[in-house]
Structures are given as structure tokens and as C-alpha cells.
Amino acid sequence: MMFITFIGVTVATILIILFEWSRMNKKQKKEKWTVVILTMSGWILAILLVFFSNMLGPADLINMIFKPLGKFLLDPID
């Protein structure tokens, strides 16, 4: 099942890149690289979520970092 999802995500990523690539002029090299980098970053995140579905998200990381800081700032000084 994970292999089918991997293939589906990969095909969708390739289709997105091809669709966006065809709409850009030949002179837009920076924009093309930006589309490729952002799309491949999304592909990597999607594949990681397919294989490691219990992986912590960005909100969990932020909560883990700032929760002790919030407790420290909100506790009354004795």
C-alpha cells in the first residue's frame, strides 16, 4: 500500500512540475528553479509522512520548544 502511495505522490509531483514548467518562459530560470525546489521539498515531506506516519509535525516542534518558556514567563515570581 505504501508503494502505491509513493508512486502516486511521485507522479503527482512530476505532473505539477511539468505543468508549471510549460507555463514559464525560457528566460525565467530563477522561477523554474524555485518551482522545482519547492515542489521537491513538498515531495520529500509527503514521502516522509507516508513512511513515518507518526512523525511529529512543525506545530509539535514549536510547542516542545516554547512550552517551557511559556511556563517560565507566566509563573509568578516568588
- Cα pseudo-dihedral 21, 22, 24, 26, rounded to 10: 90
Sequence ranges of the domains in the chain: 2-74
pTM score > 0.95 for this model?
no
How confident is the model over 26-73, as pLDDT tens digits?
Answer: 899 999 999 999 999 999 988 988 888 888 877 888 898 888 888 888
pLDDT of residue 26: 87
pLDDT of residue 16: 93
